[in-house]
Amino acid sequence: MAKSSTGKISGKTPGSVLEKYIKDFNLSVSGLAFELGQNATTFKKILDGSKRITVELGLLLAKKFGTTADFWIDLQKRAALAETRADAKFQKRFKELKKAVKEPKGAKAPVAAATAKKPGRKPGRPPAAAAAAAVAAKKPGRKPGRKPASQTTSVFSSNSGDADF
């Protein structure tokens, strides 16, 4: 296996690495598949690159070969990234995409956005009233539009001086 200066495998597909492990441990594809409770066709497709290593399979391979699941998942992730970066259609979309610009706090919204109708809001109803109605509607036993009961009587406001809690 070709290793980079950091010791990680570079330029290898998950299938080629798995094939190397199968050879190093003197295993057969069908025997390994059977032992891991998988279909031999699944392993053959992983070896030829037409199927990906799942998290579950990564965990099983890690246990079998004494590696980590992260090793197998990282191999798959790197292969997927390389495949996506090489895709011409993706490259076109990627180049056309504009970077998001974060507005500083307190910046005023554009006039068109400020006057646009917000979805789900009834015309003429102020936002505070809508929020108050939503809160009132969520509490059982209360009808929307009614004011909450007085908060003057409280279980915790006792004049007896008991402070047992």
Regions of the chain with pLDDT less than 70: 1-11, 107-165
Task: Supply the pTM of this predicted model.
Answer: 0.54
Contact status, residue 46 vs residue 31, Cβ threshold 8 Å? no
Number of domains in the chain: 1
Contacts of 115 (CB under 8 A, 6+ apart): none
In a domain, 153, yes or no: no
Mean pLDDT of the chain: 76
CATH code, domain with 32 = 1.10.260.40
In a domain, 77, yes or no: yes
* Ramachandran quadrant class, 7 (left: phi over 0; alpha: psi -120 to 50; beta: rest): left
Q: Which residues span the domain enclosing 24?
A: 14-87
